[in-house]
Amino acid sequence: MTRLLAGVFVGGAATRMGGAPKGLLRMPGGVTLVDHWRALLEARGAEVVLVGSGDAYRALGLEVLQDEPSGVGPLGGLVALLQRASPAVAVAVACDMPFVTPALLGRLLAAPAAPVVAPRREGRWEPLFARYDSRAVLPVARAHVAAGRCALHDLLYAVGAVHLDLSPDEAAQLRDWDSPGDVTGS
């Protein structure tokens, strides 16, 4: 069986949340967003790491991957994750998606082999709920960094990402927590 590495992206500044680390926000029941993802991913046999600035997450005991290089947004985190995963498969998830179910995660993991498998919402790729073949994507991601092309959407188009079809209910599971109103209104 191919080893699976899962990166929970925690590197955003969370300015709309007042700077509080989003991954440490608590869901109903008291579990943090990061621990929610950790449980979902480990139940599928994945090794879980955090991607991004991890000082606030030190107490969780997870390996933290720093962006490679820093200063290029989530693409730097994806390069670090793919380097760590190589030559295996990696899953990249945003820490602030509390509604993803085990069934939806299972569909992503079970999709046929492709350089990238990701859903599209409102015509845009969802690169931080996606499965990546590190061998196929890492060289292209490094070339994008070198060329200053840092948009993850561009990378997914360049490698021939495959669309994961979602039902309306599944698409709703990809809602994220971007502001305090999202947390209190969930």
4-61 pLDDT tens trace: 999 999 976 555 545 668 889 888 889 999 999 999 999 999 999 999 977 888 889 9
| C-alpha span between 144 and 137 (Å, rounded) | 11
Residue 142's nearest CA partner among 82, 61, 184 is 82
The model's pTM is: 0.91
Residue 146's nearest CA partner among 68, 53, 66, 77 is 68
Secondary structure E strands in the chain:
4-9, 47-51, 64-65, 89-94, 116-118, 120-121, 124-125, 129-133, 162-163
The domain total for the chain is 1
Residue 126 has pLDDT above 80, yes or no: yes
Q: CATH number, domain at 124? A: 3.90.550.10
Q: What is the pLDDT of residue 114?
A: 97
Task: Provide the residue type at 174 as one letter.
Answer: L
In which domain, by residue range, is 19 found?
A: 4-184
What are the C-alpha distances in Å from 32 to residues 7, 24, 144? 16, 5, 33
